[in-house]
Amino acid sequence: MLSYYIKLGLKRLGETPVLTLLILMAMALGIAVSVTMLALHHAMAYNPAEEKSGRLFAVQLAAYGNDMETWGEEDGLPIQVTHRDAMNLRESTIPLRQTPMFRMALTLESHRQDMPPSADFVVRVADRDFFEMFGVNFVYGGPWDKTIDLDTARVAVINQSVNEYAFGGGNNVGKILLMNETEYRVVGITEDSNPLPRYYDLTSGAYPITPDSVFIPYSLAPQLESFPNGNISGWAAEPVNEFADLLQTEFVWQVYWVELPDAQAVAAYRDYLAGYVDQQQQLGRFQNGQARGHIRDVQQWLTYNRVIKDDNRVMVGLSFMFLLVCLVNTVGLLLARFLRRMNETGVRRALGASKLQIFQQYITEVSLLGLLGGGAGLLLSMVGLWGIRSLYTQYATIAYLDATMVAAAVAISLASSLIAGTYPAYRVCAAQPSLFLKAQ
C-alpha cells in the first residue's frame, strides 16, 4: 500500500508545479538556515579529547602579587602559567603524564632546491608526554627519549607536511632539520593533525588554520633565542630585552596540562597545588587574596574559555524560529493544496476509503515534500557554510556538514513536514464527504 501512496503522491506533486515549488522553497529555506547554524554549533561543541576528556586537566595558578584583588579571568585565575611555575610543577610525581607547552615561529630551511625558507609552520615546545596525552600518531619513528626532557638535546618531531617541505617525503628519521640556522635531528614523523577546537592551547584562538607542525623538547627553552608566538600577559612592569629575560619574569605565557587517571590522583594533585601555593607565598610570591591553584578537565576547559559563544546559541535559536515561520507558511500552502482536492477526497470516501487511508495518503505526500525540501535545504546549507568559511577565517576549518548533520537534516525535514502537514491532512479528512459530492 505504501508504494501506491508514494506513486500517487509523486503524481499529485506534478499536477500543481507552482504550488509544489512554493512549498519546497519555504521548507528548504527554513531547513537550510537551521541546519547551517546547527552544523556550526555542532562543530564548535565537539570535544576532540573524547574518552580522555575526563583524564586531562589544565592547570591554573593565581600567581600574581602586590595584594591585587584579582587578575586574569573573571574568577581571578589566568589560563597560562609562568615559566618558573611550569618548571616547578614538572617536579611533581602525581600525574601519570604532564607537559608545559608554548608556541614559536621559527624559520625552516628545506633540503630541496626548489623550496625557499619558510616561517609558516607552527613550532610547539613541549615535553615528551605531549604525544601520548593528546593522541599524536606517528608514521615513522617516535617521540624523543624521556631523558631528553631533563638532559636536553636538539631533536625534533615533524609532521608529514614539514617532512614533504624539508625532505620531499619518505622516512627521514635521523636526518637534520634546519630551524633558525640551528640543526635539529629528526626522531619522528607524525600524521598531519589539527584537532579542533585546539583545546590544549586556546591562547591564540580555538580554531587555528595552521596545525602544530614541529615539536621540540621543552628542556631546550633556556637555549632558545626567539620569543614565543602567542599570548604573553603580566600584572607588573618588568624589563624584557631578550628571551632569557622572559624566563625569569612573572609573565604568564605557557599552558600546563596533567593527566590524572582516577579520582584519587585528582584529589592528590589538588592537595599538591594547595601546598605549592602555600610554599610560594612563603617565598614572597602569590601575594593576593585569591592565591590558589585549580584544575579543569577538557570539557570544563572548553566551557570555561567560552569556546561556544552565547551569540552562537542565540543564532541557533533564531534559526529554528525562522524554521517555525517557514512551517507556518507551509501549513497554509498545504491547506490550500489539499482543499483544492476536496472533491476528489469526497469521491474516494464515498467509494469506501476510510479517513485513515486518506490521511495516510496525504501524510505520504507531505513526507515526499519533506524529503525533497530537505535535499534542497541541504544544498542551500552547504552554500551557507561556504559563505561562512569565506567571510570568517576562524570558521574556515570547521564549517562543514558531517554525517551526523546530514542525518539531522533528514530528520528535521521529515519532522517539519509531518508537523506542517498533520493539520491540513486532518482538516480534509475530518470533513463530511457528502458536502464534497453536493458541491461537485
202 and 242, same domain (yes or no):
yes
pLDDT of the residue at 358: 76
349 pLDDT band, cuts 50/70/90, is low
120 and 252, same domain (yes or no):
yes
92 and 238, same domain (yes or no):
yes
125 and 249, same domain (yes or no):
yes
CB 21 within 8 A of CB 266: no
106 and 39, same domain (yes or no):
no
Cα distance between residue 397 and residue 214, in whole Å = 20
Of the three residues 304, 331, 352, the one that is the final residue of a domain is 304
pLDDT of the residue at 437: 55
Mean pLDDT of the chain: 90
262 and 233, same domain (yes or no):
yes
121 and 201, same domain (yes or no):
yes
58 and 144, same domain (yes or no):
yes
Mean pLDDT, residues 294-301: 97
Measured between alpha carbons, how far apart are the two ends of the chain, in Å? Answer: 28
Q: Which helix (H) or strand (E) holds 216?
A: strand 212-217
94 and 227, same domain (yes or no):
yes
Cα distance between residue 33 and residue 317, in whole Å = 11
pLDDT in tens, 227-286: 999 899 998 889 999 999 999 999 999 999 999 999 999 999 999 999 999 999 999 999
149 pLDDT band, cuts 50/70/90, is very high
Higher-confidence position of 14 and 109: 109
Q: Which helix (H) or strand (E) holds 256?
A: strand 255-259
Antiparallel, parallel or unpaired: β 108-109 and 176-179: antiparallel
Domain enclosing residue 426, as ranges: 2-45+309-439
Q: Is 353 strand, coil or helix?
A: coil
pLDDT of the residue at 175: 98
Of the three residues 251, 286, 304, the one that is the final residue of a domain is 304
pLDDT of the residue at 312: 80
Q: Is the pLDDT assigned to residue 85 strictly greater than 90?
A: yes
pLDDT of the residue at 396: 79
348 and 401, same domain (yes or no):
yes
Of the three residues 272, 304, 336, the one that is the final residue of a domain is 304
392 pLDDT band, cuts 50/70/90, is confident
- Copy the grid coordinates of residue 207: 580554531
The pTM score is 0.81
39 and 72, same domain (yes or no):
no
pLDDT of the residue at 5: 63
The total of structural domains in the chain comes to 2
pLDDT of the residue at 8: 64
281 and 326, same domain (yes or no):
no
Q: Is the pLDDT assigned to residue 379 strictly greater than 70?
A: yes
Q: For residue 108, give Cα distances in angstroms to 123, 145, 407.
A: 10, 23, 44
Mean pLDDT, residues 27-44: 92
- Copy the grid coordinates of residue 60: 591554573
